[in-house]
Structure 1
Amino acid sequence: MPRHRRRSHPEEHENHERWLVSYADFITLLFAFFVVMYAMSSLNEGKYKVLTESLEGIFSEPVRSFRPIPIGEDRPSSLAPGVPGGSSSTPTDSLELIGQGVQQAFSDLVGTGQISLRGNEMWLEIELSSNLLFPSGGAIPNDNAFALIDKVAAILAPYQNAIRVEGFTDDQPIKSANYPTNWELSVSRAASIVRLLAMHGVDPQRLSAVGYGEYRPIADNATGTGRARNRRVVLAVARDTDVRRNMTTFTTGQVNAARLPRTL
């Protein structure tokens, strides 16, 4: 019988370069990993930049939330009174102390509503009825105004807070050689109070005068009582010391809209 020869298969050579496939896969995954990490890092950087700019904006214009400044008996004992003009007196403390001083010095006028106080963390508003200060239609202070502003100046002088004096009128038309409109009358009244405060010891660099005319009423001009309330001068004492910065950053209208006024 013929003998069948067993076919011999060629011996397979071992592939010594198979590791390159795994290495290439690893390098591809590693590259993809770093691409993802870089993308995440860039995204977070943008988020952090937005967050940083937002925080800077908030702290440079801190007018977003308010809480009333305690005055008188409501002032918490945990707040140290501080020394007027000294290093231990914080700006907020000075507003509280000024408010207490006005309330104590003019308790009778506060009781009748001719002087009222409103406050928050940024401002203390001392509102004076124009009837206490000026004759009807005029901006030259009457005799009583000198003594009254003298007392107010004595309370304000020891501190460094900026003070913006604001004049307001009712809506009754006025036309005279000195005051063609209520704008001029309100500005002149505010300027007269600024001059008196400076004469009685308040640093003029702390002072500014603003007139709003009849355009910021707090009562109905249809009644005599309402018109009397609208004729007023407000001493807006700022938490800070820079008059110009406070004038461009804050307004009395914003303060009133952002809080519940508290009248003492």
Structure 2
Amino acid sequence: MSAAGAHGRARRGGGGHDDGGHDGPDERWLVSYADMITVLMALFIVLFAISQVDAQKFLELRQGLADGVGASSTIPVDGGSGLLVSNGSVAAPAQPQTSVQDESVSPQASGSSGASAAQGGGPALEAAKAEVEKLEEVQRQLSAALQGAGLGDRVGFRVTEDGLVGAIVADDVFFESSSATLQPTGEDVLDAMAPVLGGIDTPLELEGHTNALPVRGGLYPSNWELSAARAAAVVRYLQADGIAPERMTAMGFGETRPLFEGDSPEALSGNRRVDLVVASDQPAEVKALLPEAAEELHSSAAPPAVAVAPAPVDAAPAAAPPAEAVVAAAAADHAAEGGH
């Protein structure tokens, strides 16, 4: 064995450096650095990708949003001046827009008419006018039937959000005080109206009302029961006259919905009534416009032409007076009687 070999074995067996040692600098930081560079590269790729606006896809998105909210005009997009277009130049900054027009929204609609504006004030109002014309045709038929029976002053009509309301004043001609038994004149009124009501297919609501005087003794413990019983009595009588029962509803409101406030003779007599409602079957936004439509139709009606010669006698029955006039007349006739 040579001296060099012995010397080499001596170095490996004993002294010298450990095989697991590390003479150079620690380079483990490169792993973290590489991860950071990768993340930054991904970030810049995402930023670059979202800076490219696909015009076709944007138009499709805009149209989809417009269809979703019911708008037909453009949707404003506020942006900076750093967007790149396809040729690499910088796009001009978008002009800010402050409003979005919606062709289906009426500019005059506000407040209580907000629901109708959402559906389009114009179409809803036109539908309300058509419904008013239909209801007033029913009113003309009912008025003619009552006039023919000599009872034209017993029912007054008005158009409300519920439909056509015929107010039957519940004085002693219809119901005695604290009683829900129909009197003969009340039966005659219902007999005259029944053929017309039987010829339409809309629901009928019978609403009983009383004045503010408390019930003292008798069959009914309060005005609630009395008003409901009067409405039910009218329903039973109309059913006997051939009106389908599934079309009718009886409701009692007691003294909670007066036509006249206070305790005047007019209020004591006029608030004793049964309202016969020819209910409208229109959507809620159309029904809310019925009073407005009725007022507009009446105000826009052409005035009668001036007759040069004496006008011929009109054989047609006169239109029924409004509900308030009927109630006021009944109040004058029965102011001293009181009752419920």
Q: Same fold (TM over 0.5)?
A: yes
Q: 1:222 aligns with which of 249, 256, 263?
A: 263
Partner of 2:192: 151
Q: 1:128 aligns with which of 158, 162, 168?
A: 168
Q: Quick check: 1:67–1:121 contact (8 Å CA) kept in 2?
A: no
Aligned-residue offset at 1:109: 4.5
TM-score scaled by structure 1?
0.62
Aligned-residue offset at 1:136: 0.7
Q: 2:237 aligns with which of 172, 196, 200?
A: 196
After TM superposition, the structure 1 = structure 2 runs for residues 5-44 of structure 1, keeping only pairs within 5 Å, are: 32-34=54-56, 36-44=58-66
Q: Quick check: 1:167–1:210 contact (8 Å CA) kept in 2?
A: yes
Aligned-residue offset at 1:95: 2.9
What percentage of residue pairs aligned between the two structures are identical?
Answer: 25
* Alignment CA distance shift 1:155-1:36 (3 Å): closer
Q: Counterpart of 1:130 in structure 2: which amino acid?
A: A
Aligned-residue offset at 1:40: 2.3
- 170-179 or 114-123: which moved more? 114-123
Rounded to whole Å, the distance in 2 between the matches of 1:120 and 1:187 is 21
Q: Counterpart of 1:47 in structure 2: which amino acid?
A: V
Q: Quick check: 1:127–1:232 contact (8 Å CA) kept in 2?
A: yes
Q: Quick check: 2:129–2:290 contact (8 Å CA) kept in 1?
A: no
- 164-173 or 115-124: which moved more? 115-124
Rounded to whole Å, the distance in 2 between the matches of 1:118 and 1:105 is 17
Q: Quick check: 1:162–1:206 contact (8 Å CA) kept in 2?
A: yes
Q: Quick check: 1:173–1:181 contact (8 Å CA) kept in 2?
A: yes
Q: Quick check: 1:164–1:208 contact (8 Å CA) kept in 2?
A: yes
Q: Counterpart of 1:95 in structure 2: which amino acid?
A: L
Partner of 1:163: 204
Q: 1:46 aligns with which of 45, 68, 80?
A: 68
Aligned-residue offset at 1:255: 6.6
Computing the radius of gyration over CA atoms, which structure comes out larger, 1 or 2?
2
Aligned-residue offset at 1:180: 1.1
Rounded to whole Å, the distance in 2 between the matches of 1:226 and 1:63 is 36
Aligned-residue offset at 1:256: 6.6
Partner of 1:103: 143
Q: Quick check: 2:178–2:226 contact (8 Å CA) kept in 1?
A: yes
> Counterpart of 2:70 in 1: which secondary structure?
helix
Q: Quick check: 1:66–1:121 contact (8 Å CA) kept in 2?
A: no
Aligned-residue offset at 1:183: 0.7
Q: Quick check: 1:116–1:263 contact (8 Å CA) kept in 2?
A: yes
Q: 1:117 aligns with which of 127, 152, 157?
A: 157
TM-score scaled by structure 2?
0.49
Give the paired residue count: 205
Rounded to whole Å, the distance in 1 between the matches of 2:157 and 2:220 is 29
Q: Quick check: 2:128–2:293 contact (8 Å CA) kept in 1?
A: no
Q: Counterpart of 2:220 in structure 1: which amino acid?
A: Y
Aligned-residue offset at 1:126: 1.0
Q: Quick check: 1:133–1:144 contact (8 Å CA) kept in 2?
A: yes
Rounded to whole Å, the distance in 2 between the matches of 1:30 and 1:197 is 74
Q: Quick check: 1:122–1:239 contact (8 Å CA) kept in 2?
A: yes
> Counterpart of 2:214 in 1: which secondary structure?
coil
After TM superposition, the structure 1 = structure 2 runs for residues 242-253 of structure 1, keeping only pairs within 5 Å, are: none
Q: Quick check: 1:183–1:213 contact (8 Å CA) kept in 2?
A: yes
Rounded to whole Å, the distance in 2 between the matches of 1:253 and 1:137 is 35
Partner of 1:263: 322
Partner of 1:205: 246
Q: How well do the aligned residues superpose, as a CA RMSD in angstroms?
A: 4.2
Aligned-residue offset at 1:140: 1.1
Aligned-residue offset at 1:210: 1.0
- 216-225 or 166-175: which moved more? 216-225
Show structure 1 runs of 5+ residues with no match.
Answer: 1-26, 70-90
Aligned-residue offset at 1:36: 3.3
Aligned-residue offset at 1:176: 3.3
* Alignment CA distance shift 1:182-1:92 (3 Å): same
Show structure 2 runs of 5+ residues with no match.
Answer: 1-48, 73-101, 105-114, 299-320, 324-340
Q: Counterpart of 1:118 in structure 2: which amino acid?
A: R
Q: Quick check: 2:258–2:271 contact (8 Å CA) kept in 1?
A: yes
* Alignment CA distance shift 1:255-1:220 (3 Å): farther
